[in-house]
Structure 1
């Protein structure tokens, strides 16, 4: 109480100086600590000694990663922003995800996950027409950009559909492949139009109009069509050229070299 009273009795300028002195001293200590930390952070002991790349490197060579990511890495062991470093590696071609961490002393550990391309993707959804900028679809149903020349020998199927429909298209393709391959066919193209209608193409060149419906409805329609259509083609010793499954009571089937044959659902069920 006496100290407080004595301070209050001092002139205002001296009183403020006494009150500010501890604050200024604290700020001075803080500045000294900051300067010391900055000086310490710049010491050679904290420089990077090694950048270790692990995980998927099938599509990316060390030279490619060095050219795409290294110019964007800034700072040393203490000062590097790991989020920016991760973004630099994820910007490299074919890299889906990167995990970046510091490992003492002086090592930057990078674990990469690459895209696994499962199809070519045309985001416009126009059947048979090239998109302004074609892309690829990975095993997670995600669209990504990469050099299409890297997969030109992989025999990837071609998907197309409206924006955001890639996972739906890939899922239906996976469901269609089983019954197709069991009868010697392979679905190499699958399109979802902007109006919700589906169309596919076989490796043999036949184009099949599936029409609209839920996934279960489309699969049931396709499974019912397959054995009958291929049996008809075998009987005429030819192949399926195209088919339209959008009819309520049957489908229209065109055989190579013969023409279009309407097939009724009731007719198909006869032995």
Structure 2
């Protein structure tokens, strides 16, 4: 028994069906794109709420929103989070910002502020060093700490200098003096100023080399000052760059007819 074979669909009919499907899908895609374009630009999705979080000591959440919101471009869907993050991080005292969207029209911002640990650069500047060794600029009138030391060194040396300062603080504690300033010059040599105005030449080398000289100085200075019935407060200057000892000058101590303060020598 012969069965009739189904007739093949003519090529022109298949071509029309394919064309119709393509046109339909194209129109649908355009419709979806137009709807998305409208939704992303409708006022309903404008940034209307910015929640600021974090331990803020030098910034006010209300002021931050007022100053940053007008700078942000786009709405909930189109705002560039990376640009928003950079905008917040340009605010004085802000060290790091995390920005994320919160539906339907909000942003949540988590801020971390700098914690100043030292002044940076010349006294005429407004540079500061935070507790991570990062240099930043801020209004010095907003400092909430007093007695910060001043660090001065080549560009990029702030972390190294902060490390050295932190090592100096406990090393000098037996003398009951503190660091007022620390300088690292271009040749890698260190100078230190104490809170009583004394200037110390520490020399160069590794941190360990410098600390060994300082520790030797702290260990033997009381022996020298006691000979002149003085304390560390009488120290005017010291040069620790000698291999076998150091030279120092004490206030109120003179030798012979010299009107200047004496230069005493101490050996290991």
Name the TM-score, length of structure 2 as normaliser: 0.84
Q: What residue number does 1:125 align with?
A: none
* 8 Å CA contact retained: 2:174, 2:218: no
Q: 1:264 to 1:229 in 2, by over 3 A?
A: closer
- Aligned partners of 1:152, 1:139: CA distance in 2, in Å? 14
Residues 1:150 and 2:142 are matched in the alignment:
yes
CA distance in 2, matches of 1:20, 1:233: 101
Q: Is the 8 A contact 2:192 2:202 kept in 1?
A: yes
- With over 3 angstroms needed to count, the CA separation of the structure-2 counterparts of 1:232 and 1:68, relative to structure 1, is farther
* Distance of 1:156 and 1:263 partners within structure 2: 32
The aligned counterpart of 2:242 is 247
Correspondences of 1:150-229 after superposition (within 5 Å): 150-151=142-143, 154-229=146-221
Task: Give the match for residue 118 of structure 2.
Answer: 119
User: What is residue 263 of structure 1 aligned with on the other side?
Assistant: 265
1:13-92, aligned counterparts within 5 Å? 22-92=21-91
Greater Cα offset, 149-158 or 188-197: 149-158
TM-score, with normalisation over the residues of structure 1? Answer: 0.83
Q: SS at 2:59's partner residue?
A: coil
CA deviations over 1:137-188 (Å, ceiling 9, x no partner): 0111011111122228622110010011110000011001002123201011
- How far residue 213 of structure 1 moved from its aligned partner, in angstroms, is 1.2
Query: Are the counterparts in 2 of residues 252 and 260 from structure 1 also a CA contact under 8 Å?
Result: no
Residue 76 of structure 1: how far off its partner (Å) = 2.5
Find the residue that maps to 1:69 and give its secondary structure: helix
Computing the radius of gyration from Cα coordinates, the structure with the larger value is 2
Q: For residue 225 of structure 1, report the CA deviation from its aligned partner.
A: 0.6
Structure-2 separation of matches of 1:152 and 1:45: 42
CA contact (8 A) 2:50 2:65 kept: no
Residues of 1 paired with 2:97 and 2:168: CA distance? Answer: 33
Residues 165 and 182, structure 2, Cα contact 8 Å, conserved in 1: yes
SS of 1:256's equivalent in the other structure is: strand
Superposed displacement of residue 39, structure 1:
1.6
Any idea what the Cα deviations from partners look like across 1:171-208, whole Å, max 9, x if unmatched? 01100100212320101111110000001011011111
> 1:22 offset after TM fit, Å?
4.3
In the other structure, the counterpart of 1:96 is 95
CA distance in 2, matches of 1:100, 1:84: 10
CA distance in 1, matches of 2:26, 2:174: 78
RMSD: 2.6
**May I ask how many residue pairs the two structures share in their alignment?**
252
- After superposition, the Cα gap between the structure-2 partners of 1:230 and 1:27, relative to the gap in structure 1 and judged at 3 Å, is farther
